[in-house]
């Protein structure tokens, strides 16, 4: 057996199924007989009062079984993860374009869509707010503002040799999972119901369906095999569609399915939160940051959704990878008339980090330094304390920085870029360094728990069920690797079952980069409950003490030497000996605690560190650019599955590059998305991805808080993409662009306009080498 297989380091569990198109999702399973189709009818206006709605023609259309409105909801009519402020079906006021007002249920999708087109609605328009600063000025706030503070910032300004101020406009981002939002419900006996949902949070769907139907949670079964991508967009907002099909199934007594089209998914669901921000930064003569002030205005959308916890993580990551003794960061959720914005990979951290990096860039401009000169002198070290109280342990921030600078030869990269710029007029190169420090855990402490159920069958095969959701990130592969290592067997013997609320209850969402941590530890603990019985059986069979026995490569070892006893025989004899071959595991992250009211404590089990060097070339005539290279040094602790981790790092980085460059969410003054299709909303593809994309993992060091010594890898790599903005900005400045606004994404149109302004001001920017 190969070393890779022995230690569970094989390929992604679902790779072969994905490549062959055989992976099953919600609507791939053979439908129950007589299954109906539901389609949502959404508001054509972003804000208004419903004066009347005529459903007669739709209800009498061919194939239509029913058209549901708010009056048809059996019990609870409001939903929401934090506060129940969002109507499942609107009936008086609409607050965003696409908000669901009615649900058409018919024998076929074509019949349902036709009937939907017959609905007539009369809405009196109300004023529309689309920008967070505008909402803040109007007092349209979701919650009171929050401020985190450390030191004495008011006195610190006097000691600063350099002070800069500025503002940022940070765009949102559409999730664009390959699988759009969808759900299927089947009514069962005794008022029970089964829901198949494309959700990152089965328990949230279970709770909401139970409340909407007015039944206890144990009568609702939610099942999730896998998702075709989530990125946070299915953490809370998948709940809506699960509730819709459940209500329709209860009303009709038949199975009901709802599958959003791409256009519907974009129009009716929330995005990454756009932010509008102001900053002020003070430094001493050597570039040491003495004071930092930021005000973050979050565009929350129409309802609360997850905006408050997203905002909290912005506050917790506002200083990124830097030690700043005096800081004050204010943040506020601003209500606008857009779809409720929601979780997205990074969960508010990337927006706050962009502001910090913009402030450093502004200071570098004023001081005549490169940005990385200021970054390097302020990097975090072990023992530094964040402004919210947590002290850094085993900090590897500077290790990743130094490794990136040395291994990828930053000095030579800089030198080549300068030589290129000196000899080229149309094309200019830019280079940036982006350090990342990202905390791992849910900031709501109670969510940091995971459960698992492990069965060993008498033929030696194993079934593993957890509360985690496989959504392409390799969670199932990691669970297999954990079980394989504990038992010392081949990963091929292990199957990860669908996530199901009847097998694992009260599960936390698959989010916050904590899925493999929480569920991996739970799997480990379950396996460790079973292992002693196996070893005891082997001891009896081989007549040696348990202390001398281990299992490796599916064979029992005695004092590290192979015996004749193999795994399958061991399992069968353990069964005959009536010892347990099934166990549940429960894990709660230790040594964390966070007081959200006081803004103080230890919210994170640990931090992930990394550094990315980005190189770009800008065509100064056309405004277009090429990302030449991204070179990453990343800390994964001791990787469970290196192939999975590398895939996550590369995928997260490219998603971050897209957010910073081309993924431009555009909506008009009436709150209507004008980039609501993939023809107008541009995504990074294989041609945009840098040809030179290198990932170097730090030398393995065990992380006690991670399963098998690993570190989470889902979210932190996205923030490497922030560096591309500053690389492009540097190239523009090399062309004489001067003070380029901190407005993301930095699309080719914005680059071209910035360069056009530069052509009217021929004075070149001077940068002092350091």
Structure tokens that stand for 302 in this block: 């129409």
Domain C-terminal end among 588, 609, 631 = 588
Structural domain boundaries, residue 11: 3-22+449-588
Give the pLDDT confidence score for residue 762 in this predicted structure: 66
Q: Are residues 736 and 668 in the same domain?
A: yes
By DSSP bridging, strand 162-170 and strand 742-744 are: parallel
Q: Is the pLDDT at 768 greater than 60, yes or no?
A: no
What's the residue count for the chain? 770
Hey, what long-range contacts does 368-373 have (CB within 8 A, 24 or more apart)?
A: 368/766, 368/767, 368/768, 369/287, 369/767, 369/768, 369/770, 370/767, 370/769, 370/770, 371/432, 371/433, 371/726, 371/730, 372/410, 372/432, 372/433, 373/287, 373/770
Q: How far apart are CA 310 and CA 511, in angstroms?
A: 12
Would residue 29 count as lying in a domain?
no
Structure tokens that stand for 448 in this block: 């940091």
Q: How far apart are CA 575 and CA 555, in angstroms?
A: 17
Residue with tokens 């007002």: 101
Q: Is the pLDDT at 1 greater than 70, yes or no?
A: no
Q: Are residues 439 and 480 in the same domain?
A: no
- Res. 10 pLDDT band, cuts 50 70 90: low
Give the pLDDT confidence score for residue 705 in this predicted structure: 95
Instruction: Measure CA 531 to chain center.
Output: 35
Mean pLDDT of 650-679: 95
Mean pLDDT of 173-194: 98
Chain segment 46-73, per-residue pLDDT in tens? 999 999 999 999 999 999 999 999 999 9
Would residue 132 count as lying in a domain?
no
Q: How many domains does the chain have?
A: 3
Residue among 497, 468, 469, 464 at smallest CA distance from 481 = 464
- Res. 549 pLDDT band, cuts 50 70 90: very high
Structure tokens that stand for 270 in this block: 């929330």
Higher pLDDT, 510 or 769: 510
Q: Are residues 643 and 681 in the same domain?
A: yes
Domain C-terminal end among 588, 612, 645 = 588
Chain segment 620-634, per-residue pLDDT in tens? 999 999 999 999 999
Structure tokens that stand for 678 in this block: 């993939």
Structure tokens that stand for 305 in this block: 């959704």
Residue among 175, 81, 685 at smallest CA distance from 442 = 81
Q: Are residues 607 and 741 in the same domain?
A: yes
Residue with tokens 């980085």: 653
DSSP code at position 595: E
Alpha helices in 157-258 (DSSP H): 202-213, 238-252
Q: Are residues 437 and 456 in the same domain?
A: no
List phi, psi (to 5°) of 161.
Answer: -80, -25
Mean pLDDT of 523-537: 98
Q: Are residues 284 and 264 in the same domain?
A: no
Q: Of 86, 312, 715, 730, which one is the catalytic site residue? A: 715
Instruction: Measure CA 57 to chain center.
Output: 42
Q: Are residues 577 and 645 in the same domain?
A: no
Q: Are residues 122 and 182 in the same domain?
A: yes
- Res. 9 pLDDT band, cuts 50 70 90: low
Chain segment 393-437, per-residue pLDDT in tens? 999 999 999 999 999 999 999 999 999 999 999 999 999 999 999
Q: Is the pLDDT at 121 greater than 80, yes or no?
A: yes
How many CB atoms lie under 10 A from the CB of residue 677?
A: 12
Q: Please state whether the predicted TM-score (pTM) of the whole model is above 0.85.
A: yes
CA distances from 356 to 289, 296, 363, 436, 692 (A): 11, 11, 11, 11, 27
- Res. 763 pLDDT band, cuts 50 70 90: low
Q: Are residues 103 and 219 in the same domain?
A: yes
Chain segment 473-508, per-residue pLDDT in tens? 999 999 999 999 999 999 999 999 999 999 999 999
Q: Are residues 635 and 526 in the same domain?
A: no
Q: Are residues 406 and 517 in the same domain?
A: no
Would residue 207 count as lying in a domain?
yes
Per the annotation, the verdict on 263 as an active-site residue is no
Would residue 135 count as lying in a domain?
no
Mean pLDDT of 300-327: 98
Q: Is the pLDDT at 769 greater than 50, yes or no?
A: no
Would residue 147 count as lying in a domain?
no
Q: Are residues 504 and 460 in the same domain?
A: yes
Would residue 623 count as lying in a domain?
yes
The sign one gets for the Cα dihedral 11, 13, 14, 16 is positive
Q: Max CA-CA distance within the chain?
A: 89
Q: What's the mean pLDDT when you consider all of the chain?
A: 96
Q: How far apart are CA 73 and CA 748, in angstroms?
A: 48
The CATH number covering residue 354 comes to 3.30.365.10
DSSP 502-518: TTS-SPPPS-TT-HHHH
């Amino acid at each position: 057996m190969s070393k890779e297989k022995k230690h569970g380091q094989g390929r992604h569990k679902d790779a072969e199924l994905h490549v062959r198109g055989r992976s099953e999702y919600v609507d791939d399973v053979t439908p129950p007989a007589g299954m109906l189709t539901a389609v949502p009818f959404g508001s054509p206006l972003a804000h208004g009062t419903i004066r009347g709605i005529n459903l007669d023609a739709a209800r009498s259309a061919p194939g239509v079984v029913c058209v549901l409105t708010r009056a048809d909801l059996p019990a609870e009519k409001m939903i929401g993860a934090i506060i129940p402020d969002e109507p499942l079906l609107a009936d008086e006021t609409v607050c965003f374009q696409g908000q669901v007002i009615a649900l058409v249920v018919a024998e076929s999708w074509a019949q349902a869509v036709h009937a939907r087109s017959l609905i007539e609605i009369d809405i009196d328009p109300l004023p529309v707010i689309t920008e967070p600063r505008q909402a803040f000025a109007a007092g349209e706030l979701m919650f009171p503002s929050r401020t985190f503070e450390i030191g004495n910032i008011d006195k610190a300004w006097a000691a600063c040799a350099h002070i800069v101020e500025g503002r940022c406009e940070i765009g949102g981002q559409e999730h664009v999972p390959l699988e759009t939002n969808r759900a299927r419900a089947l009514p069962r006996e005794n008022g029970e119901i089964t829901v198949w949902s494309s959700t990152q949070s089965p328990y949230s769907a279970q709770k909401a369906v139970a409340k909407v139907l007015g039944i206890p949670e144990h009568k609702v079964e939610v099942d999730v095999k896998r998702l075709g991508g989530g990125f946070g967009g299915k953490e809370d907002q998948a709940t809506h569609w699960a509730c819709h099909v459940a209500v329709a199934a209860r009303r009709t007594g038949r199975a009901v399915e709802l599958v959003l089209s791409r256009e519907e998914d974009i129009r009716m669901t929330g995005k990454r939160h756009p932010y509008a921000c102001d900053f002020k930064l003070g430094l001493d003569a050597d570039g040491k940051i003495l004071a930092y002030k930021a005000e973050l205005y979050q565009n929350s959308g129409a309802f609360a959704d997850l905006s408050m916890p997203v905002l909290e993580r912005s506050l917790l990551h506002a200083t990124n990878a830097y030690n700043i003794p005096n800081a004050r960061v204010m943040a506020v959720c601003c209500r606008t008339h857009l779809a409720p914005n929601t979780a997205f990979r990074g969960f508010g951290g990337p927006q706050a980090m962009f502001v910090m990096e913009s402030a450093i860039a502004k200071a570098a401009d004023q001081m005549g330094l490169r940005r990385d000169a200021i970054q390097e002198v302020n990097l975090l070290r072990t023992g530094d304390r964040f402004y919210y109280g947590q002290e850094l342990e085993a900090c590897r921030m500077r290790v990743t920085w130094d490794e990136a600078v040395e291994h990828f030869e930053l000095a030579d990269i800089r030198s080549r870029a300068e030589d290129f710029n000196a000899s080229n007029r149309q094309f200019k190169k830019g280079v940036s360094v982006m350090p990342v420090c990202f905390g791992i855990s849910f900031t709501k402490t109670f969510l940091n728990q995971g459960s698992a159920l492990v069965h060993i069958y008498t033929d030696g095969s194993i079934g593993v069920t957890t509360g985690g959701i496989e959504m392409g990130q390799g969670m199932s592969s990691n669970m297999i690797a954990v079980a394989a290592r504990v038992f010392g067997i081949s990963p091929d013997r292990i199957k990860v079952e669908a996530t199901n609320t009847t097998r694992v209850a009260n599960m936390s969402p698959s989010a916050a980069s904590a899925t493999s941590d929480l569920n991996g530890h739970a799997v480990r603990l379950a396996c460790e409950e079973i292992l002693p019985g196996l070893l005891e059986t082997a001891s009896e069979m081989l007549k040696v003490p348990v202390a001398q026995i281990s299992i490796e490569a599916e064979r029992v070892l005695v004092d590290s030497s192979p015996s004749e006893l193999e795994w399958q025989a061991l399992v069968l004899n353990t069964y005959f000996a009536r010892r347990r071959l099934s166990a549940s595991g429960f894990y709660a992250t230790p040594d964390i605690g966070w007081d959200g009211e006081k803004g103080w404590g230890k919210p994170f089990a640990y931090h992930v560190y990394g550094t990315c060097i980005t190189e770009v070339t800008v065509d100064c005539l056309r405004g277009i650019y090429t990302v030449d290279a991204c070179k990453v040094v990343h800390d994964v602790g001791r990787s469970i599955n290196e192939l999975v981790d590398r895939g996550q790092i590369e995928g997260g980085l490219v998603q971050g590059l897209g957010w910073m460059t081309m993924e431009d969410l555009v909506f008009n003054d009436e709150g209507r998305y004008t980039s609501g299709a993939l023809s107008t909303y541009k995504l990074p593809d294989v041609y945009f991805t840098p040809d030179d994309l290198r990932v170097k993992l730090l030398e393995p060091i065990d992380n006690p808080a991670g399963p098998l010594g690993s570190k989470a890898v889902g979210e932190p790599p996205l923030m490497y993409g922030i560096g591309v903005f500053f690389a492009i900005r540097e190239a523009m400045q090399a062309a004489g662009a001067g003070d380029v606004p901190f407005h993301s994404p930095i699309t080719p149109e914005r680059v071209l306009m910035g360069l056009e302004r530069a052509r009217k001001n021929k004075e070149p920017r001077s940068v002092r080498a350091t």
